[in-house]
Structure 1
Amino acid sequence: MRTSTGPTIRILLADDHLVVREGLAAILATQPDFLVVGEAAGGAEAVRQVTSLAPDVVLMDLQMPGMDGTTATAAIRAAHPEVQVVVLTTYDTDADITAAIDAGAVGYLLKDAGRHELCEAVRTAARGGAALSPTVAAKVLAHLRGDRGAGLSGRELEVLSALARGQSNKQIARALRLSEATVKTHLLHIYAKLGVADRTGAVTAALSQGIIRID
């Protein structure tokens, strides 16, 4: 997470429907640690506003006129890797989910998510964690599943093993000579393939299934 003055999480809303942006802004305004710093009606506008407003988290719709949310997410993450993107959409196909995660989104929620789930996803993303809704995680797992864990790449196994040893993202990045953004992407893929939502779940699942061992 990028450091900002005080505990406030700065949020940019990107959605082409004004009523959705207004509703989100009203929900987020109830949280003392949130500050909505701007709104964008399209992907290109979201990319520009990230540069000018320096948010910590972008809530990103997928289907918008002009530049779509997936393309905007990739552009934001390439230029501003410290900014976290959480997709908030009505689309839950495997292709949409995978494309968003591959573009660098650290979270994926559906628009029927409750207020608490939405707010916790923003906080999790701001801390650099993965914020996949249970429904989305289950769909990704169903798409990727053969034997659980069988789809993990060699690099993902290295990241998972380091995770089990209690290493932070920064420590993992240093040990494996990766960027922290790349480590976060690997973690998202690990969570999806194991059907879990966080670091603890990943380690628990991997140990119980014998995917990794702690010597």
Structure 2
Amino acid sequence: MNASADSFQPIRVLIVEDDAVTRTALSLSIQAEPTLMLAGAFDSMQPALEWMHTGAMDVLLTDLGLPDGSGVDVIRACRRLHPHCDIMVLTMSANEADVVACIEAGACGYLLKDGPKNDIARSVLSMREGGSPMSPLIARMVLERIRAPKPSPAPHEKKSRAVVQLTKREIAILDLIARGETYGNIATMLSVSVGTVQTHIKSIYSKLSVHSRGEAVFEAQRRGLLKRNAEST
């Protein structure tokens, strides 16, 4: 038997979606992709949280409006129990507060439900490659939020922000992450290896005390580290 076939491990996907039709469509899309595996599908928050304590997963797809709680709580639990898991939100909500809450909680992607359900497998694979799939409306909202003028920080805030120092290369990588580029694309654009990009990203996460691409972009912007990049676009 081929050794590479023996070592192949499918990407395990957990779905949390209360609408039965949508949940079925998402499940079928995941099951139709050979590199993905449906780890579980739940219609509410509590059974999903219970499953997370013993189940194995690589990707979480979750709605926000669940009958027994918020998808944000599902995201937080996933980030705590499965820190290396990639998280994507699938929702009807284009509310900025919801988008920010999800990204700050640890989401890597944010898709509105008006998109085709059969594209979800492609979005999952893109996210696993380092991308941050977002519906066009959400991506524009995030970019506008990053570009928006920020009030001058109080003196004690200036002191705390000055502690973090990113290198020029780290800032360049953060800017490309904010634009939705995958690790592979970033490596090509900067003429370095994917491993080098991942090393820089680990350094960025450590310096900013974050655990996801979305958190890194928002925290860097909050500290004013991406201000020059945003104004030059």
Report TM bin, short chain: 0.7 to 0.9
Query: 1:20 matched to which residue of 2?
Result: 22
Q: Give a deviation string over 1:35-58, Cα, whole Å, max 9, x none.
A: 111111112222222333211111
Instruction: Single out whichever of 176-185 and 98-107 deviates more from structure 2.
Output: 176-185
Note if contact 2:29-2:120 (Cα within 8 Å) is conserved in structure 1. no
Q: How does 1:174-213 map to 2 (within 5 A)?
A: 174=203, 177-178=206-207, 182=211, 184-189=213-218, 206=229, 209=232
Note if contact 2:106-2:212 (Cα within 8 Å) is conserved in structure 1. no
Query: 1:30 matched to which residue of 2?
Result: 32
Q: Give a deviation string over 1:118-139, Cα, whole Å, max 9, x none.
A: 2222112223432222221112
Query: 2:172 matched to which residue of 1?
Result: 161
Q: How does 1:1-215 map to 2 (within 5 A)?
A: 6-115=8-117, 117-146=119-148, 158=167, 159-161=170-172, 166=192, 167-174=196-203, 177-178=206-207, 182=211, 184-189=213-218, 206=229, 209=232
Cα displacement (A) at 1:12: 0.8
Percent identity over paired residues: 26
Q: Give a deviation string over 1:166-190, Cα, whole Å, max 9, x none.
A: 5423333247744895352444438
- The structure with more radius of gyration: 2
TM-score for both structures, normalised by structure 1: 0.73
Unaligned runs of 5+ in 2: 1-6, 151-160, 177-189
TM-score for both structures, normalised by structure 2: 0.68
| Aligned residues between the structures | 194
Give the whole-Å Cα distance in 1 for the aligned partners of 2:13 and 2:205.
31
Give the whole-Å Cα distance in 1 for the aligned partners of 2:60 and 2:217.
17
The structure-2 alpha-carbon separation of the partners of 1:125 and 1:147, relative to structure 1 and needing over 3 Å to count, comes to same
Note if contact 2:29-2:118 (Cα within 8 Å) is conserved in structure 1. no
Secondary structure of 1:38's aligned partner? strand
Give the whole-Å Cα distance in 2 for the aligned partners of 1:120 and 1:88.
14
RMSD: 3.6
Unaligned runs of 5+ in 1: 194-201, 211-215
